Amino acid sequence: MRWMFEKIPFPLDFKIHLFNVTNPDEVMKGGKPKIRDVGPYYFEEWKEKFDTEDDLEEDTLSFTLRNTWIFRPDISAPLTGDEMITVPHLLVLGVFLSVQRDREEMMPLISSGMKIIFDPLESAFMTVRVMDLLFDGIPVDCGSEEFAAKAVCSGMESEGAVAPLNETHVKFSMFGMRNATDAGRWVVYRGVKNIRDLGRIVSYNGEPEMDIYDGDECNQYIGTDSTIFPPFLTKQDRLWAWAPEICRSLGAHYIGKSKYAGMPMSLFKLDFGDLKNEPENHCFCRDPPEDCPPKGTMDLSMCIGVPILGSKPHLLDADPKLLEGVDGLEPNEAEHDVFIHFELLSGTPVSGAKKLQLNLEVEPIRDHEVLGNLPTVVLPMIWVEEGVSLNKTWTNQLKYQLFLGLKFNATVKWLTIIVGTLGSIGAGFMHYKRTSQVTQVEQVAAGAKSEGGGRFISVSAATTEEGKNGGGGNLPAVLDGLDPSGISKRMSDPAQKERY
């Protein structure tokens, strides 16, 4: 499977949904946001690992990962990507909310710089073309020589939020800066020395662990890159995978039996849990136990640099209070849950979908003339789904190379057990019949003839006669037709008598 691990020979399904805010003016005055799910926009996602290096001593493989997204308008129809949509202005709100939370003393400088860059700054929302927001990019004027403006632009560039466009402008997009670019240098175990280590992450970009959270446990790389898993897993194991985009490892747990393409599988699902009530995971909280993300969410601010909560789409399984804060969400387990159909013996995922929604933690920007009346709300912005379902070409390989062999082995095993059991029973019965046979012996008078002309000699009679003649009482077995007179003569011989 090495070749398939290095370059998956088929694209993964990548779908993007955006939430259109239909009442931005009301929200700016503190009103309850009304949103509408727009999507999905379909993309092909190609994963390739290149510049591979093997370390035989450490049993590791090093590679650089590259993700490439290709838009599929034929599948996205009637959506084209040219739709205009109203969403939170991530650069404006992201910068203000982050500074207010962590560096409030810098707020006057940031306010001056943002006012210059986004002149006129009239709203926390922007109406933009979908593909510009996702990949093509939204231009931002950073040509001002004012110190405040330069400071804000430098900060956005250093955080990787924007990319250079020309001498005076940068551009912002949600995925464009990561499309067809290197996604880090990975080192993983090959699993030759220990098959249970197959695919397990050793380091990322030269670091054996993260340096983000206040706790060694939360900074560990747990699991694989989600494209490969070790074989011989059990129902008690969790399917762990680490994602650099969210700086977290997530583990799906066993739900029950399932089927895919006629083959028995195991169904695993993901649960974000409730960190406030999980002391072992308090290192993922900003200030535990009080300042932990709500149930069913995870705080991505320490990873992304913007106050964003990750959740399942439409806040499925999240705290009901979050759903009450907005109108337009319709959580549905069949459509919005995270799942994987998995074959435990071979470690093969045959069908699954990773889904993640990004929600902005909005609050009023204190003492700001434009953003000072925003409501305190968790506002959904976008959710994505990355998934794959193997077609017959690949499921047939699993079916005929693995399951057919397993069925053959099982058939041989049970045939051997059945035949061996029946053979043992038969052999025991025959042994019993042989040992239980009784030979009937009839005592007759001395000198009597048999029907065949022979003679029978009574042991008791012979013994009596010889006893009278001084013979021994320990005669050998009497032979049919033996002349008794001959016996008497032999017994009279001292040598023969001694023999008997």
Nearest to 38 by CA among 380, 387, 389, 321: 380
Q: What is the pLDDT of residue 485?
A: 54
Segments of 412-457 assigned E as strands:
none
Q: What is the pLDDT of residue 468?
A: 45
Q: How far is the C-alpha of 314 from the C-alpha of 85, rounded, in Å?
A: 18
Omega before residue 40 within 30° of 0, cis = yes
Distance of CA 386 to the CA centre of its chain: 14
What is the token pair recorded at 447?
């000198």
What is the token pair recorded at 355?
């889904």
Tokens 């009679």: give the residue: 461
Q: What is the pLDDT of residue 39?
A: 92
**DSSP annotation string for 9-67:** SSPEEEEEEEEEES-HHHHHTTPPPBEEEEEEEEEEEEEEEEEEEEETTTTEEEEEEEE
The answer to whether residues 306 and 172 touch, using CB atoms and an 8 Å cutoff, is no
The answer to whether residues 78 and 97 touch, using CB atoms and an 8 Å cutoff, is no
Residues 354-379: pLDDT tens digits? 999 999 999 999 989 999 999 999 99
What is the token pair recorded at 424?
């043992």
The answer to whether residues 157 and 169 touch, using CB atoms and an 8 Å cutoff, is no
**Maximum CA pair distance of the chain?**
148
Residue 207 has pLDDT above 80, yes or no: yes
The type of residue at 286 is: R
Over range 466-485, report the average pLDDT: 48
Q: What is the pLDDT of residue 409?
A: 63
Residue 461 has pLDDT above 50, yes or no: no
CB-facing half-sphere around the CA of 105: CA atoms within 13 A? 0
Residues 209-245: pLDDT tens digits? 999 998 788 999 999 998 899 999 999 999 999 999 9
The answer to whether residues 8 and 46 touch, using CB atoms and an 8 Å cutoff, is yes
Report the DSSP pairing between strands 181-189 and 201-204: antiparallel
Residues 49-99: pLDDT tens digits? 999 999 999 999 999 999 999 999 999 999 999 999 999 999 999 999 999
Over range 1-20, report the average pLDDT: 90
Residues 416-444: pLDDT tens digits? 888 888 788 878 778 777 777 655 656 65
Residue 478 has pLDDT above 70, yes or no: no
Average pLDDT, the chain: 85
What whole-number percentage of the chain has pLDDT above 70?
84
The answer to whether residues 111 and 371 touch, using CB atoms and an 8 Å cutoff, is no
**DSSP annotation string for 165-187:** -SSSEEEE-SSGGGTTEEEEEEE
Residue 500 has pLDDT above 50, yes or no: no
Q: pTM value?
A: 0.79
